[in-house]
A and B are shown apart, each in its own frame.
Chain A
Amino acid sequence: MIEFHLDTRSGVAPYLQLIHQVRQALRLGLLREGDRLPTVKEVAGGLAINPNTVLKAYRELEYEGLAAAKPGVGTFVTKTLTDDSIAAHAPLREELDEWLSRARAAGLDDESIEAIFRSTFRPQPQEDAV
């Protein structure tokens, strides 16, 4: 079982936050195949959020093949994500660590590093620029 929380200052839509938390719990092995997700009523009542928000998140998880609804019983996890988890991507992480050390050595502070990452990460409709 998972307990959701909501960060209203994050600017991330609440339904996306729920999805992220399920994915995160799957990656970390906190949720496994066969586990039941809390009911819509439980989540809506617990977080004081709109039930449609929870439904939307669960529908999206179903669409992604991560969960399936059993009518009258609940929504269940149908997949485990631990295999392609962070552990499996250790080399990528190491490269990023190296890059971060180089960036810090070059005198960049956290904010500048984030700015570089964000501006590079942005998907590219830039081509038709200028």
Chain B
Amino acid sequence: MTAGSAAPEGRPPGTPPAAAPGELPRRTPPALDARGLGKRYGRRWALADCTLTIPAGHVVGLVGPNGAGKTTLLNLATGMLEPTTGTVEVLGGAPASGADQLAKVGYVAQDTPVYAGLTVAEHLRLGAELNPGWDDELARGRIERLGLDQKLKAAKLSGGQRAQLALTLAIAKRPELLILDEPIARLDPLARREFLQLLMEATAEQELTVLMSSHLIADLERTCDYLIVLVAGRVVLAGQVDDLLASHHLLTGPRRDPATLPADQQVITASHVGRQSSLLVRTDKPVHDPAWTVANVDIEDLVLAYLSRAASA
């Protein structure tokens, strides 16, 4: 384990020390603050030069193809992995740096693991024993509403019920940040919806920041207000969903060389067929050129555009 965050080579120049005296009092520290964060396995960089600040209070979707580094980033944030380069702070502290820090972060690993040999009741007891901030009333209330038989062993639960149990344990710990690694990938549509309902209800109730990896974009569309797209170990897009949607437009019109566009329009993807061009551009200004038919994009368009751009780069 790391001895705090004082690793001298770990903090790149320019990173402010925590709570510098004399400065404006910091508001809530960011949920996650990564500077030049990287993780290498042998010769392969699972995550490279990741600089990213996620403000608290959002439901953050972490998207990317398999092997993009999503789990690596989440495991660095929970402190289960040590970075090869750079630093990461979670809620203003080094990941897993002490009991306080551990209590602030809830984590549900890939495929929502539970203890197969323990009953639902034993899971709740374990949660109560291990977590100082445990909210037993909340945990029991949720289990009751889910209709889970407390005497049942976890091995006997359905996939959806196991996921709900794992989520309940993580929520009842009353964390400030809840990290979920592909929590719904293997659930059927109904179980998936029920899981997200429980998650969104908890988010409304507890002022929770949620960081959730997934490749089910449709589900992220409803639940996330902050989006991070990770490709081949690098962050290619990050920001509030509303801002991202407002600043990206799909332009279709007569064939045109993207190089002739106004300087404020950054072309993300371009395709040309016959006499027509279709461009996905990023710009903070309105598009006035009457030659273009301007359409809005949704999260799926956006994610796919950035994935395909990264793939062809």
A-to-B contact residues, CB < 8 Å: 6, 8, 11, 13-14, 40-41, 44-54, 125-126, 128-130
Are the C-beta atoms of A53 and B288 separated by less than 8 Å?
Answer: no
23 contacts between A and B (CB under 8 A): A11-B296, A41-B205, A44-B200, A45-B201, A45-B204, A46-B197, A47-B200, A48-B219, A49-B223, A50-B59, A50-B203, A50-B225, A51-B200, A51-B203, A52-B57, A52-B59, A52-B225, A53-B225, A54-B204, A125-B286, A125-B288, A125-B290, A129-B290
Report whether A8 and B204 are in contact in the complex, using a CB–CB cutoff of 8 Å: no
B204 touches A51 (CB 8 A): yes
How many of chain B's residues have a CB under 8 angstroms from any CB in A?
A: 27
Does B201 contact A49, Cβ atoms closer than 8 Å? no
Kindly state whether residue B298 has any CB partner on chain A within 8 Å: yes
**Residues of B contacting A129 in the complex (Cβ-Cβ under 8 angstroms):** 290
**Given A8-B222, A14-B222, A49 contacting B200 (CB threshold 8 A):** yes
Taking beta carbons and an 8 Å cutoff, which residues of B are in contact with A?
Answer: 57-59, 193, 196-201, 203-205, 218-219, 221-225, 242, 245, 286, 288, 290, 296, 298
Nearest Cβ in chain A — how far from B180, in angstroms? 14
**Are A49 and B222 in contact (CB-based, < 8 A)?**
yes
Which B residues touch A53, using CB under 8 A? 225
Q: Is the CB of B296 within 8 A of A45?
A: no
Q: Is the beta-carbon distance between A8 and B197 smaller than 8 angstroms?
A: no
A128-B288, A129-B290 given as contacts; is B222 within 8 A of A48 (CB)?
yes
Chain B at the A interface: SS class: helix
Complexed CA–CA distance, A46 and B198 (Å): 9
A45–B290 CB distance below 8 A: no
Q: How far is the CA of A76 from the CA of B78 in the complex (A)?
A: 41
Give the residues in chain B near A126, CB-CB below 8 Å.
290
Nearest CB in chain A: distance from B31 CB, A? 14
CB pair A44–B201 under 8 Å, yes or no, is yes
Q: Which residues of A contact B288 (CB under 8 A)?
A: 125, 128
CB B183 to nearest CB in A, in angstroms, measures 13
Across-interface contacts of B204 in A (CB, < 8 A): 40-41, 44-45, 51, 54
The reply to whether B197 and A45 form a contact with Cβ atoms under 8 Å apart is: yes
Other than the given A46-B197, A51-B203, 10 more pairs (CB < 8 A) read A6-B222, A8-B222, A44-B201, A44-B204, A45-B200, A47-B197, A47-B200, A49-B200, A53-B225, A128-B290
Which A-chain residue is minimally distant from B218 (CB atoms)?
A: A8
CA distance A130 to B242 in the complex (A): 32
Closest to A127 in B: B290
Contacts of A6 in B (CB 8 A): 222
Cα(A8)–Cα(B218), bound, Å: 8
Q: Which residues of the partner chain A approach B219 to less than 8 Å between Cβ atoms?
A: 48
A48 to B224, CA, bound (A): 10
C-alpha spacing A36/B288, complex, angstroms:
42
Cβ B298 vs Cβ A50 within 8 A: no
Q: Which of B193, B198, B224 contacts A50 (CB 8 A)?
A: B224
Residues of A with C-beta under 8 A to B57: 52
CA distance A49 to B59 in the complex (A): 10
Q: How far is the CA of A49 from the CA of B57 in the complex (A)?
A: 15
Q: How far is the CA of A6 from the CA of B205 in the complex (A)?
A: 21
> Provided the pairs A126-B290, A130-B290 are in contact, do residues A48 and B205 lie with their beta carbons within 8 angstroms?
no
The answer for the CA separation of A47 and B245 in the assembled complex, in Å, is: 21
Known: A6-B222, A11-B298, A126-B290. A48 touches B193 (CB 8 A): yes
Distance of B64 from chain A, by nearest CB (Å): 20
Closest 7 CB pairs of A and B: A45-B201, A51-B204, A48-B196, A129-B290, A41-B204, A44-B200, A44-B204
